[in-house]
Amino acid sequence: MSDAPQALPLAGVRVLEFTHMVMGPTCGMILADLGADVIKVEPLKGDSTRHLLGSGAGFFPAFNRNKKSLAIDAKSARGREILLRLAADADVFSENFKAGTMAGLGLDYEALSRLNPRLVYVSHKGFLPGPYDHRTALDEVVQMMGGLAYMTGPEGRPLRAGSSVNDIMGGMFGAIGVMAALAQRERTGRGQQVQSALFENNVFLVAQHMMQFAVTGKPAAPMPSRISAWAVYDVFEVKDGEQVFLAVVSDTQWEIFCRAFGFADLKADPRLGSNNDRVRARAWLIPALRERLAPYPAAELSRMFEAHGLPYAPITRPHDLFEDPHLNATGGLTDLTLPDGRATRTPLLPLSMEGRRLGLRMQPPALGEHTEELLRAAGCTDAEIAALVADGIVGIPA
């Protein structure tokens, strides 16, 4: 696949993105990486994620590449007029604000679909329409009420997953819905409203545990205390206090494992003849394996497991991934410039097309970086642009 923008799958698709935080920006980033022309509409002070601290400090650079920034006062009559001009020519309008916000601005689906019947309008919310849709939702809120925190933490200690999984995956489903609606528009000539939601996304994530109950009649136990489907599927503490995850998930792998480590006695033990036998024997088998493997360095165990085609994993911290040899060899990370000018790298979408990764075309934009360009495209004259800037309707970088 060529790096030229026109060669990308969504080249020629224009997206007006009215989003903040993670869920909506993720949807827009996916569409942008696939080639869409994404216009990020920001208030004059900017998307709030530009200024977050702590765990939110990486939100803006992580989810806003390949976009253009339009800084505008959407509450003003002149600001709305410009946004309506842009919406009239857009293919997609994306928003993730509280219910009623877009209607209050005259930018809801009903209003914009009358203006542009071909428009695909995607809303990212806490809940799909129903009894909960008035609630304010966050990723952690729906993890708690949707069973994911219960499954992640130890018994009695619900714990959120270590990433904004519902925000990111909810944005992904929003993008899937947009692409499906664009494909349907090719047949019908009309756009439609697409909705994605945090809670329903979370329920989809725990569906396997719901179905476990349906099949077995027994509630799924939290992951730290679950009955594993495989006998050897654990983190092992080994020499010098290091940790490594090791897995032996089939009868063939068990035979290979025992042969590689010289555990002939375990291979011959009739109590361990099949995977299910070994699952039933975990209470004594896993402590025995921990004792036998404890003298090995983690690197040696990793080398042996890799040499024999057995599953294993080092215990990696997120910042260690910048130096991951696979990511660096395969182009999984791309150069990125942070808002303060520092250089770093960031992960690309986890897919390739025609053997190539979907790369970076534009850095995460400075606030209002493309305001002037977009106003000209909307038909504004130099005098009009100057007046809009002077009156505080739009923002242009100094």
Please choose, from the candidates 360, 370, 326, 318, the residue with its C-alpha nearest in 3D space to the C-alpha of residue 57: 318
Question: Which tokens belong to 174?
Answer: 């929003």
**C-beta separation of 213 from 219 below 8 A:** yes
Strand partners, 195: 123
DSSP 135: S
Number of Cβ within a 10 Å radius of residue 393? 22
List helix spans (H) across the chain. Answer: 23-33, 59-63, 77-88, 101-104, 109-115, 139-145, 148-152, 165-188, 198-205, 207-216, 251-261, 264-268, 275-280, 282-293, 298-307, 325-330, 371-377, 382-390
Please choose, from the candidates 312, 332, 336, the residue with its C-alpha nearest in 3D space to the C-alpha of residue 323: 332
- Whole-angstrom Cα distance, residue 254 to residue 93? 53
Question: Which tokens belong to 249?
Answer: 């998930």
The single-letter code of the amino acid at 114 is R
**Residues carrying an active site annotation:** 167
Q: Which residue has the tokens 């090995």?
A: 296
Sheet of 312-314, strand order: 232-237, 243-248, 312-314
Question: Which tokens belong to 157?
Answer: 């200690």
**C-beta separation of 34 from 40 below 8 A:** no
- Whole-angstrom Cα distance, residue 320 to residue 371? 37
Question: Which tokens belong to 101?
Answer: 């916000």
C-alpha distance from residue 201 to each of 31, 140, 194, 220 (Å): 19, 13, 14, 19
Highest CATH level, class, for 5-205+325-395: alpha beta
**C-beta separation of 202 from 233 below 8 A:** no
Burial class (CB in 10 A: 0-12, 13-18, 19+), 125: buried
| Tens-level pLDDT at each residue, the chain (398 residues) | 445 666 899 999 999 999 999 999 999 999 999 999 999 999 999 999 999 999 999 999 999 999 999 999 999 999 999 999 999 999 999 999 998 999 999 999 999 999 999 999 999 999 999 999 999 999 999 999 999 999 999 999 999 999 999 999 999 999 999 999 999 999 999 999 999 999 999 999 999 999 999 999 999 999 888 777 888 999 999 999 999 999 999 999 999 999 999 999 999 999 999 999 999 999 999 999 999 999 999 999 999 999 999 999 999 999 999 999 999 999 999 999 998 899 999 999 999 999 999 999 999 999 999 999 999 999 999 999 999 999 999 999 97
pTM metric for this prediction = 0.92
Measure the CA angle with vertex 113, ends 107 and 117; round to 5°. 150
- Whole-angstrom Cα distance, residue 1 to residue 218? 49
First to last CA, the chain: 37
The single-letter code of the amino acid at 241 is G
What is the structure's pLDDT at 2? 44
Domain borders along the chain are 5-205+325-395, 228-316
DSSP 88: H
**Is 228-316 a CATH 3.30.1540.10 domain?**
yes
- Provide CB contacts within 8 A for 277, sequence distance 6+: 271
**C-beta separation of 152 from 158 below 8 A:** yes
Give the pLDDT confidence of 318-354 residue by residue, as tens digits.
999 999 999 999 999 999 999 889 999 999 999 999 9
Chain centroid offset of residue 247 CA: 27
- Whole-angstrom Cα distance, residue 17 to residue 25? 8
Question: Which tokens belong to 330?
Answer: 């395969």
- Whole-angstrom Cα distance, residue 248 to residue 271? 16
5-205+325-395 matches 228-316 in fold: no
**DSSP H or E run through 355:** none
Give SS3 for 12.
coil
Taking each helix axis as running N to C, give the angle between helix 165-188 and helix 23-33, from 0 to 180 degrees, rounded to the nearest 10: 50
How many residues are present in the chain? 398
C-alpha distance from residue 99 to each of 15, 105, 129, 189, 308 (Å): 21, 12, 10, 28, 55
